[in-house]
Amino acid sequence: MGRILAIDYGQKRVGIAVTDELKLIANALTTIHSKDVIAFLNDYVSKEKLDLFVVGEPKQMNNSPSESAKFVEIFIKKLKKEFPEIPIKKYDERFTSKIAFQSMIDYGLKKKDRQNKELIDKISATLILQSYLEANQ
């Protein structure tokens, strides 16, 4: 039984989250530079079985694609080419960065820690994955 890996793709950084083997809980994994994401995933897939990629789909409030959607689509094409055997699902990522930031406040992180964009990306990927799991149970 493989895991599900979520990707919050950005032009600079990529947040990565992964499920446990039972696919019950989303866990933050890491944040990496976008140019290194395919190499990171190749390494990860060589060590862990993945059943699915969930990629955050950036949308505007009216449900149309946001400006960054074109970069996500280019990334998804690379992902399909590199890992043709692993299915990819897009999942609405609206508000995940805001929710991630608010959760950092709720957990009492200091202002300096809340400015860590890598942490926000990692939490956002986790939120995307947990939302996907809850919607698909």
**CB-based contact 34:12 (threshold 8 Å):** yes
How many structural domains does the chain have? Answer: 1
What pTM value is reported for the model? 0.86
- CB atoms closer than 10 angstroms to residue 67: 8
Q: At 96, is the pLDDT very low, low, confident or very high (cuts 50, 70, 90)? A: low
Give backbone dihedrals phi and psi of 33, rounded to 5 degrees, phi first. -70, 140
Q: Quick one: which of 46, 39, 104, 34 has its CA closest to 55?
A: 34
Where b means 16+ CB within 10 Å and e means fewer, 29-53 reads bebbeeeebbeebeebbeeeebebb
> What one-character DSSP code corresponds to residue 67?
T
Look up residue 66 and give its two tokens. 């946001």
- pLDDT one-digit tens code per residue, 45-74: 999 999 999 999 877 667 666 677 789 999
In a 3-state reduction of DSSP, which class is residue 25?
coil
The CATH number that applies at residue 124 is 3.30.420.140
101 has a pLDDT exceeding 70:
no
Residues of the domain holding 82: 3-135
